């Protein structure tokens, strides 16, 4: 407990230092004197806290990854981000694209410094190697993000020590994959095994999960592009590492889907690796509650009272139709149609044909308020950001098995764990979110366990389509969907094809949530939503499967060369 308190104190100090620095400039470490002292074990641990704090930056896991318009979420019209929500952004975009690039490299620079300096410190060898492994894990994670965002990017072996170190050409994606896999293999040897005191730290299982995600992504892209063995070897490795995490028996699904996300259940047994936030008033809180959650009947900052949200990141109108009718807990927790009365703290349900407020991306809601500190008008929130949950490990395992062996009982069993959890309901309804839980397993619903004879999973193609939907049902609003659509090569077809896919369901029945409306009124509303969605996705092209290299960076580093295809 003493070490945990010490680490939290360091997080506050280091994060405060980062927050006060100029996030638009990568500072050479020779100029960052507070981090230049590497003499003691305390210095080493302080440096690692600095590496972890980079995950909180806006362009990493602070917010920007949620501003991609997909069939899950999109930024509202008041948050255009220079065309980012409409797929009309360019290489001059400084609201989203530039922070993603710069903040990731800021974290890589901090990791490189720790990797090079910590081995010079005289301290326990096992502990020293573990700290280096943690830095390598973060570096691997950041580079995995960068190559998925931008393709070939400059790979930095060491920290930036002067302005002369900034002129580096782009490194091929294949080489970067080799480097990050090597760093994670180091972690398999030197990282610690999960314990209660390691919340927020990289562990052996976190390294295995990141490896599984890397191999799944690389395999999917090989299959997409019809290259090599079409990803078979990588899919096998994805299945191997995800299975090792499953077999460790160190993780389990929360019995109730919302419990994987509520602030009262932070660091639960479903979390494999997350970004730690602490609030209020410490300078290391999250803006998740500000940008995603339940809107209120107030305006301006007043809408944050009693757990309200600005709802600048919204749920796609059509995402609810990806859920089976009986899958109402996941659907309503993820895509809510309720409105908070800031005066009373109670909520009312919103008509399905109302556009104000919109459907809420509500998975990380601040409502209902149980801590008086969060009843205030504050954007500072205490919820952590999940990078890897056990649920995703099950999905990786099932998808990888299908790609190597077709539908198998083991793959179906993994999916049934998610379906079974989704059947658990709580007394009082999902939005009242009553504690303590009184759960009831709905055995008579349509959300029954799958069998190999079920048409949903009976063939490799059907299984693949089910995984597509199950990943978005389970992981919606967690920053995964754009990456998924890109690795499958379905970004353009999915976004442009939503109307055709969903029209039949929409005309068949209105949304699940009440008050009920007539099919005629729903069809009229749907026609209006068609126009809006076509505006959002009409410009999406295949080249949007990569972001542009920021023009600012190309000017600062001419060795980068030409931009990605489709961008000037």
390-405 and 460-475 helices cross at what angle (nearest 10)? 170
Strand 347-349 to 338-340 pairing = antiparallel
| Among 525, 518, 520, 566, residue whose Cα is nearest residue 543 | 566
DSSP state of 193: P
| pLDDT at 382 > cutoff 80 | yes
- Cβ atoms of 309 and 292 within 8 Å: the answer is yes
In degrees and rounded to multiples of 5, residue 29 shows phi and psi of -70, -20
Token reading at 126 = 């096992």
Residues 293-314 pLDDT 10s: 998 888 777 788 888 888 888 8
| Among 172, 240, 182, 242, residue whose Cα is nearest residue 210 | 242
Whether the upstream peptide bond of residue 373 has omega within 30° of 0, thus cis, is: no
The whole-number average pLDDT for the span 551-563 is: 95
pLDDT at 312: 84
Neighbours of 374 (CB within 10 A): 22
| Among 334, 279, 284, 268, residue whose Cα is nearest residue 304 | 279
Residues 2-28 pLDDT 10s: 343 334 334 333 333 333 333 223 333
If phi > 0 it is left, if psi is from -120 to 50 it is alpha, else beta; for residue 81 that is left
Instruction: Name the least confident of 23-27, 478-482, 544-548.
Output: 23-27
Q: Among 196-200, 350-354, 404-408, name the most confident range.
A: 404-408
pLDDT greater at residue 114 or residue 307? 114
In which band, very low, low, confident or very high, does the pLDDT at 166 lie, cut at 50, 70 and 90?
confident
pLDDT at 12: 36
Q: Which residues pair with 439 in a beta bridge?
A: 426
The C-alpha atoms of residue 335 and residue 429 are separated, in whole angstroms, by 15
204-225 and 125-150 helices cross at what angle (nearest 10)? 30
CA atoms within 13 A on the CB side of 11: 22
The whole-number average pLDDT for the span 352-356 is: 64
- Cβ atoms of 249 and 326 within 8 Å: the answer is no
Q: Is 213 exposed, middle or buried (0-12, 13-18, 19+ CB in 10 A)?
A: buried
The C-alpha atoms of residue 530 and residue 491 are separated, in whole angstroms, by 18
pLDDT greater at residue 171 or residue 377? 171
CA distances to 137, 211, 232, 385, 472 from 286, rounded to whole Å, are 22, 27, 39, 8, 23
Whether the upstream peptide bond of residue 280 has omega within 30° of 0, thus cis, is: yes
Q: Is 517 exposed, middle or buried (0-12, 13-18, 19+ CB in 10 A)?
A: middle
- Cβ atoms of 383 and 266 within 8 Å: the answer is yes
- Cβ atoms of 276 and 386 within 8 Å: the answer is no
CA distances to 24, 271, 277 from 11, rounded to whole Å, are 21, 20, 9
DSSP state of 286: B
pLDDT at 325: 85
Which H or E run includes 336?
Answer: strand 335-336
- Cβ atoms of 114 and 51 within 8 Å: the answer is yes
pLDDT at 535: 72
The SS3 assignment for 441 reads: strand
pLDDT at 525: 66
- Which residue is it, tokens 């974290």? 107
| pLDDT at 396 > cutoff 60 | yes
Instruction: Name the least confident of 19-33, 134-148, 188-202, 449-463.
Output: 19-33
The whole-number average pLDDT for the span 146-159 is: 96
The whole-number average pLDDT for the span 111-127 is: 97
pLDDT at 353: 63
Instruction: Name the least confident of 84-88, 459-463, 503-507.
Output: 503-507
pLDDT at 46: 95
The C-alpha atoms of residue 267 and residue 285 are separated, in whole angstroms, by 16
- Cβ atoms of 427 and 434 within 8 Å: the answer is yes
The C-alpha atoms of residue 440 and residue 255 are separated, in whole angstroms, by 10
The whole-number average pLDDT for the span 489-517 is: 69
| pLDDT at 411 > cutoff 60 | yes
H-assigned helices in 489-518:
491-508
Q: Among 25-34, 42-51, 285-294, 340-349, name the most confident range.
A: 42-51
In degrees and rounded to multiples of 5, residue 318 shows phi and psi of -100, -5
pLDDT at 512: 52
| pLDDT at 104 > cutoff 90 | yes
Percent of the chain topping pLDDT 70: 86
Residues 167-221 pLDDT 10s: 899 999 999 999 999 999 999 999 999 998 999 999 999 999 999 999 999 999 9
The C-alpha atoms of residue 270 and residue 94 are separated, in whole angstroms, by 35
| Among 111, 132, 133, 222, residue whose Cα is nearest residue 177 | 222
- Cβ atoms of 337 and 360 within 8 Å: the answer is yes
The whole-number average pLDDT for the span 324-337 is: 92
In which band, very low, low, confident or very high, does the pLDDT at 33 lie, cut at 50, 70 and 90?
very low
pLDDT greater at residue 321 or residue 459? 459
pLDDT at 132: 98
In degrees and rounded to multiples of 5, residue 314 shows phi and psi of -115, 160
Which H or E run includes 27?
Answer: none
Strands (E), 72-189: 73-75
In degrees and rounded to multiples of 5, residue 121 shows phi and psi of -90, 135
Average pLDDT, the chain: 87
- Which residue is it, tokens 């729903």? 522
pLDDT greater at residue 163 or residue 148? 148
148-150-153 Cα angle (round to 5): 105
- Cβ atoms of 246 and 410 within 8 Å: the answer is no
In which band, very low, low, confident or very high, does the pLDDT at 549 lie, cut at 50, 70 and 90?
very high
Whether the upstream peptide bond of residue 482 has omega within 30° of 0, thus cis, is: no
CA atoms within 13 A on the CB side of 448: 7
542-548-552 Cα angle (round to 5): 165
| pLDDT at 527 > cutoff 80 | no
In degrees and rounded to multiples of 5, residue 399 shows phi and psi of -65, -45
Is the pTM higher than 0.85? yes
CA atoms within 13 A on the CB side of 51: 32
Token reading at 211 = 């490896």
DSSP 127-147: HHHHHHHHHHHHHHHHHHHHH
């Amino acid at each position: 407990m003493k070490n945990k308190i010490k680490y939290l104190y360091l997080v506050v100090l280091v994060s405060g230092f980062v927050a006060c620095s100029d996030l638009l400039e990568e500072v050479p470490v020779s100029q960052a004197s507070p981090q230049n002292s590497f003499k003691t074990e305390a210095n080493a641990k302080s440096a690692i806290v600095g590496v972890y704090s980079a995950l909180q930056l806006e362009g990493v896991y602070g917010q920007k990854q949620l501003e991609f318009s997909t069939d899950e979420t999109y930024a509202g019209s008041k948050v255009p981000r220079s065309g980012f929500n409409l797929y009309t952004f360019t290489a001059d975009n400084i609201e989203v694209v530039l922070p993603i690039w710069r903040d990731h490299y800021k974290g890589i620079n901090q990791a490189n410094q720790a990797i090079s300096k910590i081995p010079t410190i005289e301290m326990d060898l096992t502990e020293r190697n573990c700290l280096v492994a943690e830095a390598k894990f973060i570096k691997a994670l950041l580079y995995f993000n960068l190559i998925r965002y931008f393709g070939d990017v400059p790979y930095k072996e060491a920290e930036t020590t002067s302005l002369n170190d900034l002129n580096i050409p782009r490194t091929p994606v294949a080489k970067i994959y080799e480097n990050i896999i090597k760093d994670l293999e180091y972690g398999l040897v030197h990282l610690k095994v999960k314990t209660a005191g390691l919340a927020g730290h990289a562990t052996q299982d976190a390294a295995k999960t990141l490896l599984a995600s890397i191999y799944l992504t690389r395999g999917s892209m090989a299959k997409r592009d019809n290259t090599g063995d079409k990803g078979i070897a990588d899919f096998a490795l994805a299945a191997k590492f995800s299975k090792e995490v499953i077999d460790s028996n160190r993780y389990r699904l929360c019995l109730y889907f919302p419990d994987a996300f509520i602030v009262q259940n932070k660091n639960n047994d479903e979390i494999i690796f997350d970004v730690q936030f602490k609030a209020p008033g410490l300078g290391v809180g999250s803006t998740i509650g500000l940008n995603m959650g339940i809107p209120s009947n107030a305006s301006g900052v007043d809408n944050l009272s009693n757990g309200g949200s600005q709802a600048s990141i919204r749920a796609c109108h059509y995402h609810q139709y990806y859920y089976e009718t009986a899958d109402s807990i996941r659907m309503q927790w993820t895509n809510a149609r309720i409105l908070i009365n800031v005066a009373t703290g109670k909520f009312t349900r919103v008509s399905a044909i109302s556009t104000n407020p919109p459907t809420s991306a509500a998975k990380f809601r601040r409502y209902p308020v149980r801590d008086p500190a969060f009843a205030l008008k504050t954007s500072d929130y205490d919820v952590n950001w999940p990078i890897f949950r056990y649920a995703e490990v099950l999905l990786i395992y099932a998808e990888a098995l299908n790609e190597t062996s077709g539908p198998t009982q083991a793959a179906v069993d993994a999916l049934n764990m998610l379906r079974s959890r989704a059947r658990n309901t709580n007394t009082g309804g999902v939005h009242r979110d009553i504690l303590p839980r009184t759960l009831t397993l709905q055995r008579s619903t349509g959300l029954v366990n799958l069998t190999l004879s079920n048409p949903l999973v009976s063939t490799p193609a059907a299984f693949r389509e089910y995984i597509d939907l199950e990943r978005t049902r389970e992981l919606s609003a967690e920053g995964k969907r754009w990456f998924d659509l890109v690795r499958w090569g379905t970004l353009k077809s999915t976004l442009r094809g939503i109307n055709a896919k969903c029209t039949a369901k929409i005309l068949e029945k209105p949304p699940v949530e009440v008050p009920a409306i007539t099919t005629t009124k729903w069809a009229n509303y749907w026609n209006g939503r068609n126009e809006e969605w076509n505006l959002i996705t009409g410009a999406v092209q295949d080249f949007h499967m990569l972001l542009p290299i920021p023009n600012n960076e190309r000017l600062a580093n001419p060795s980068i060369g030409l931009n990605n295809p489709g961008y000037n």
